[in-house]
Amino acid sequence: MVSIVFFDVDGTLLSHKTLSIPPTTLYALKELQNKGIKLIAATGRGPSVAVLLKDYGFDFDGFITLNGQYVFTGDQVLLESPLRKDDLRGLLGLLEEHQITCEFIGKDFLSRNFTSDEAKEIDDLLGSTLTDHYFEDPEKTIEKEVYQLNLYMPKELDHIVSSYMPNSRVLRWHPLFNDVISKEGGKHRGVELFLDYFGIPKEESLAFGDGGNDIDLLRATGEGVAMGNAADEVKVQADDVTASVDEDGIYQALVKRQIIPPAELWDALNEDESPAGFLLARHTPIPKDIYHLVVEVIVRHTNGKFLVVQRSYDKKQAPGFFEASASGSALHGETSLEAVKRELLEETGIKEGRFTLQNRNVYPELHSIFHSYLCETDQDPESILLQEGETIHYEWMDKDEFLAFTESPKMLPYPLERRKEYLEELRRE
């Protein structure tokens, strides 16, 4: 049983490739919340990460920010642990001797002494998710409450920090910079606080992470899962390794453990139908300029009659309407033809027929690409099998009856708008 899940943010929830949370992860978060499972973000970012995640429609139950230096839930602060002033004064010597970029992070500010090439590279990597910062003389900044430092220096120099800041420790999740926090600090402190706050035993906790600053997090929970994009030193400390953030790692791990049900997955497509390189989940927002494939089919029997079906009154969209087609979204891994054959079989029981792709329509506002087919079949007209919850009635109509019925207010109009050319051909026959 899992009652609480802790998530690192960058490289775990947020993809460095797309600078967004993958759709399958959004699905997973929604399913966890629907089950009443607590969601905790555990990050090296500051408290403003709450705003970033809220933009995706989620109110996390708590936040371990600044690598455990500032922990809160709602308006209640569970822990504040700023760096010691004597360590910050020692830092000034390090900055002067080695001329490195330093970011000073407080509850509500992020300042820099200057921007090096390494810092600029990280700015570009974070893109629109970058936290706003300003420039300030470190002599002035250290008079404030500073909770964390980011030092842009080679990993080989990490060991020298302790000689300048003996009461602090170094964590690293990226080769270009490290995080400096209090010696006793770390994400594990936030885990302990939230388990106690919510009254949840450690055995009912799960964590996901990818960086060196997540090792404490993964070891502090009942089970720690490293992302596939994690460094080897992180993976060896984890209880399990899932796929990368861009390969639906969180979704896969939660489904594998039967914590959430599998989603209906679609291939994400560009407008030209080339693969976008990730998956979509039904009932989850689709990113800008990304599409999924929808197929629909009109069925004409070799005896000249057309199949019309009535939608179930339990359908959320257009309940009780008639339509001249079976339709649905192509599933992950399906070709267009495979998808339309499956949909027709599921909704009508028709197994045999000759399929012709008649037209293609793109709807940016729906994030959908429609492939419209004609199926000519000689299957027994009385062998139609209606899909429970989808359709409740069917009729075979001759051409003139069918064309007249397409003008009826009982008929679902949208599919027919895409079939105007074919309907005109029928009228000319």
Exposed/middle/buried for residue 398 (C-beta within 10 Å: 0-12, 13-18, 19+): exposed
Angle (deg, nearest 10), helices 249-256 and 23-34: 40
CATH number (3.30.1240.10, 3.40.50.150, 3.40.50.300, 3.10.180.10) of 85-182 reads: 3.30.1240.10
Structural domain spans, the chain: 4-74+186-263, 85-182, 292-428
pLDDT the model gives residue 333: 96
**pTM of the model as a whole:** 0.86
Alpha helices in 155-278 (DSSP H): 161-164, 187-198, 215-220, 232-235, 249-256
Block means of pLDDT (10 residues each) for the chain, 429 residues, are: 97 92 96 97 93 91 96 96 94 89 92 90 82 89 93 90 92 88 93 98 98 95 98 96 97 98 97 96 93 97 95 88 91 98 94 95 96 96 90 93 92 86 90
Q: What is the CATH number of domain 292-428?
A: 3.90.79.10
CB-based contacts of 85-91 (< 8 A; 24+ apart in sequence): 85/142, 86/167, 87/164, 87/165, 87/166, 87/167, 87/168, 88/142, 88/146, 88/165, 89/142, 90/164, 90/165, 90/166, 91/138, 91/142, 91/149, 91/164, 91/165
Fold matches, 85-182 and 292-428: no
pLDDT the model gives residue 359: 93
The identity of residue 130, as a single letter, is L
User: Which positions ≥6 away from 232 have C-beta within 8 Å?
Assistant: none
What dihedral do alpha carbons 244, 246, 247, 251 form, nearest 10°? Answer: 90
Q: What is the CATH number of domain 4-74+186-263?
A: 3.40.50.1000
In 3-state terms, what secondary structure has residue 338? helix
Backbone Cα Rg of the chain: 28
pLDDT the model gives residue 87: 93
Largest CA distance in the chain: 91
pLDDT the model gives residue 148: 93
The vertex-418 CA angle with 414 and 422, nearest 5°, equals: 125
